Structure 1
Amino acid sequence: MLIYKIFRAPEWAAMQAGGETLGAPVDRADGYVHFSTAAQLRETAAKWFAEEGNLHLLAVESDRLGPHLKWEPSRGGALFPHLYRPLRIGDVEWVKPLPLGPEGHVFPEEIA
């Protein structure tokens, strides 16, 4: 199953340059990389990136992350995927722009 991470442009650029990342400041503070499922993604974008453009949406195959991926309760008690190791560039299935439109973020067609 694909899970998703939203990065600001500098965060994505740093990951590309370094080959891996411990995530955004909130990820580093919490000690894991936050992900969302497709069903959780729109709410995540609205809550944490409401007025931000120039974002990048990364898709990662959850099975590739092995035992370092934990499903833990978060917003509203829903289980969210959390990665307890650096996210590596080789983990990324694809990356696409996540532009801000007049009614919120415009997600790729792959996101139902």
Structure 2
Amino acid sequence: MLIYKIFRAEEWAALQADGETRGAPVDLADGFVHFSTAEQAAETAAKHFSGADDLILLAIDADALGDALKWEVSRGGALFPHLYRVLRLSDMLWAKPLPLVDGTHQFPKDMA
């Protein structure tokens, strides 16, 4: 199963430069890296990145993260994937721009 992380351009650049990250400011504050499923990603973008046009969508294989990935209740009682270790560049399967068109983020058609 693929899970997704939305990063601002500067967060993505830092991950590329450093090879790993503890995440965005919200991740640092919460002590884990927040992810979304394909079904949750659009709502996450709308809620936490409204109007942002410099976003990158990262895809990660949830199974490859092992025991460091926990599924925990969050928004609306839904289970969200949370990573309790650094996110490594090597964890990532792909990264794609997440353009903003008429106020809505346009997700890739091939998200699964």
TM-score normalised to structure 2 length: 0.98
Distance in structure 2 (CA, Å) of the matches to 1:30 and 1:103: 28
Q: Please list, as runs of the form range in 1=range in 2, the aligned pairs for 1:6-17 lying within 5 A after superposition.
A: 6-17=6-17
Question: In 1, distance between residues paired with 2:107 and 2:58?
Answer: 12
Alignment of 1:67-86 (within 5 A): 67-86=67-86
CA contact (8 A) 2:51 2:103 kept: no
SS at match of 1:85: coil
Give the match for residue 96 of structure 1: 96
**Correspondence for 1:111:** 111
1:63 aligns with 2:63: yes
| Amino acid aligned to 1:29 | A
Question: What secondary structure sits across from 1:67 in the alignment?
Answer: helix
Show structure 1 runs of 4+ deviating over 6 A. none
Structure 1 residues without counterparts, runs of 5 or longer: none
Give the Cα separation in 2 of the matches to 1:44 and 1:61: 19
Shift of 1:111: 2.6
Q: Deviations over 1:18-63 (max 9, x none)?
A: 0000000000000000000000001000000010001000000000
Identity over the aligned pairs, expressed in percent?
67
Alignment of 1:39 onto 2:39: yes
| Unaligned 5+ runs, structure 2 | none
Distance in 2 separating the partners of 1:24 and 1:96: 17
Q: Root-mean-square deviation (CA), in Å?
A: 0.8
- 2:71 is paired with a residue whose SS is strand
TM-score (norm 1): 0.98
Equivalences, count: 112
Deviation at 1:103, TM superposition (A): 4.2
User: Given residue 95 of structure 1, which amino acid in structure 2 is its aligned partner?
Assistant: A
